[in-house]
Structure 1
Amino acid sequence: MLTLYRPGDGLLHRTPAGPKALVVLAAVLAVSLLPSTWWAAAAATVAGVLAYAVAGLHDGMLGMRELGSQVFGIRWIILITVTGQLIFLGAESAFANTTRVAAAIVLTGLLVLTTRVTALLDAVERGLKPLELLRVDPQRVALLLTVTLSTVPVLARLARDVREAQRARGARGNLRTFVVPFLVMALKHADELGDALTARGVQ
């Protein structure tokens, strides 16, 4: 099963999964609640840059190489979002809303990059323990949340790999030649994920 975890000894790597998830959730919520203004777009951008700078990813560029990789991976989401917003809301709102969406995604990706999936799963499961009183299975809910959290950055990485492979072969970039191999890789990842879950006794 593909994982985006990057071993390291930075601040976020050393922070326990539970508190780290709460901090990231708070940061994503704060970014999402910003108004649709130019200064809010700047604040969301600064939040993303600072988060990657202090993460200790050791990419040789103080986290900016990995941040650029994450943004590049969601470029189609950015393009579609900003285009739709420009048509209906105008430049300021379109830029601000798109920046907030992108910042929320890359901040979530940072949690996956600095936390092992098993540690994140255990932390979410412990946090949901009180829900057992309501006949909710914390293990299943935690698994669902963890898989969902991991899927977006994984699909972004797969999309980037497809484009890099096409460029290496000198293929022209167009939507038709991109979609088929991307879907094949995404379905392969889904199969591997299903096999991994089955091996762990998840029905």
Structure 2
Amino acid sequence: MLSLYRPGDGLLHRMPAGPKLSLLVMLVLAVSLLPTEPWSAVMAACTCLLVYMFAGLRDGMLGLRVLGTQLWALKWVVALMLVGQVIFLGPLPAVLNTARVVAALLLAALLALTTRVTALLDAVERGLAPLAALRIDPARVALMLTITLSTLPVMGRFAHDVREAQRARGARPGVRTFAVPYLVMALKHANELGDALAARGVR
């Protein structure tokens, strides 16, 4: 699995994977459930800023460089959400809803940035151990959840890489010139991931 883990010594890096997962899930839920009010967008943005600043990501700017990179990787998600919601809901609700969703995505990305995949997988598997009594394989469920949590940051990085390659070649930005290489990279990653899982006996 492609890992986005960044070594560091901050509070989130030192925190065990289980409590960290619970904390970030609660933060994501809190941001997602904020009311559609102007102050909620400010609170969501401040929450992201504070959490990234104290994450200890070692980017030389108290985590703000990494935050900017993650936000830039989501620019197409932001654009699509804004356009769709402006059409159906109007400008203010569109901006507020998009701000909450983007804040939740940025907070979720911190899990991949500050936790090794193996540690996250072990924590989720331990948390789901009671499901074994219902004949549900905790290891399989943990693997599925871990892959799901890791997919969005990976797709965001692919989008960033495509745009950087286009700039290097002087290509004009556009949906067609972006979508084709992006889909190729996404499908290639999915194929490699499937092969890796199959090699480990996961069916």
TM-score, normalisation: structure 2: 0.97
SS in 2 for 1:111: helix
SS state of the match for residue 185, structure 1? Answer: helix
The aligned counterpart of 2:23 is 23
**Cα deviation, residue 88, structure 1:** 2.3
Equivalent residue number for residue 133 of structure 1: 133
1:12 aligns with 2:46: no
Aligned to 2:31, the other structure's residue is in SS state: helix
The 5 Å alignment of 1:1-203 reads: 1-203=1-203
- Unpaired segments of 5 or more residues in structure 2? none
Cα distance, 1:89 vs structure 2: 2.1
* One-letter amino acid of the structure 2 residue matched with residue 71 of structure 1: L
Query: How many angstroms does 1:105 deviate by?
Result: 0.4
TM-fit CA distance, 1:25:
0.2
Give the AA of the match of 1:87: I
Instruction: Give the superposition deviation at 1:91.
Output: 2.7
* Structure 1 residues 102-139: Cα deviation after superposition (integer angstroms, max 9, x where no partner): 00101000110000111101100000001111221111
Q: State the 4+ residue runs in structure 1 displaced beyond 6 angstroms.
A: none
Paired residues, what number?
A: 203
Paired amino acid for 1:65? R
Alpha-carbon distance in structure 2 between the residues aligned to 1:180 and 1:111: 29
